[in-house]
């Protein structure tokens, strides 16, 4: 069994942690040198902004709509990412982190060696989501960073442009996530 754990609007969630005035506000985070928008929380997405927007082109509109805009603070994101990964590691025995806000969960019996490369910014479809086991709300309690779990290794691999370099890897065995409750749809 295997699953992918993804943090919701990770950079935006980080910026909000110590800012109670922004707990329900739209937030955008910019790339280095404030070039483009690299992260948005749900409230900002609902206003029509997207990842990849050129900041110079959306600056006025963001200001008008009351979006709080942050230059990226990677020291903060890395600190909180370490906290999330350490919390997830305490919840399940085998985790492979492959980007700042994504981790791969595998069971103790999962022996194949999988080499993972960062996702290309695609979002997994909702039908791959699985209900979060009770304890997995700890990242939200500890870091105010909510996580989503996805199942279905082959789909996840396609989605994330992951490259598997292990001849003994047999994805069909791991295509079920018994550990997680299915989401009834």
Stretch that binds another protein, among 30-38, 91-99, 112-120, 137-145 (CB under 8 A): 137-145
Q: What's the sign of the alpha-carbon dihedral 132, 2, 7, 90?
A: positive
Q: How many residues does the chain have?
A: 185
Please pick, from the candidates 143, 148, 149, 159, the single residue that binds another protein as defined by CB under 8 A. Answer: 143
**Is residue 137 at the binding interface for another protein, with CB under 8 A as the rule?**
no
- Considering only residues 56 through 95, tell me which ones interact with another protein, judged by CB under 8 A: 82-84, 86-87
- 155 in contact with another protein (CB under 8 A): no
> Which of 96, 138, 175, 176 forms a contact with another protein (CB under 8 A)?
138
**CB of 88 or CB of 160, closer to another protein:** 88
Residues 6+ apart with CB under 8 A from 90: none
* Contact call for residues 150 and 3 (beta carbons, < 8 A): yes
Give the three-state DSSP class for 10: helix
DSSP letter assigned to residue 54: B
Q: Does 117 bind another protein (CB under 8 A)?
A: no
């Amino acid at each position: 069994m295997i699953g992918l754990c993804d943090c919701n609007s990770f950079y935006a969630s980080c910026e909000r942690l110590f800012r109670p005035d922004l707990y329900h506000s739209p937030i955008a985070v910019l790339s280095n040198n404030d070039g483009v928008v690299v992260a948005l929380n749900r409230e900002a997405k609902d206003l029509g902004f997207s990842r990849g927007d050129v900041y110079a082109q959306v600056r006025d509109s963001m200001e008008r709509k009351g979006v709080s805009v942050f230059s990226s603070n990677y020291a903060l994101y890395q600190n909180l990412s370490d906290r999330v990964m350490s919390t997830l590691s305490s919840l399940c025995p085998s985790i492979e982190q492959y980007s700042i806000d994504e981790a791969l969960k595998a069971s103790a019996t999962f022996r194949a060696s999988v080499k993972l490369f960062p996702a290309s910014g695609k979002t997994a479809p909702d039908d791959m989501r699985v209900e979060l086991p009770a304890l997995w709300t700890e990242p939200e309690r500890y870091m105010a960073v909510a996580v989503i779990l996805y199942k279905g290794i082959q789909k996840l691999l396609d989605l994330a442009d992951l490259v598997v370099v292990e001849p003994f890897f047999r994805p069909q065995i791991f295509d079920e996530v018994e550990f997680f409750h299915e989401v009834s749809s």
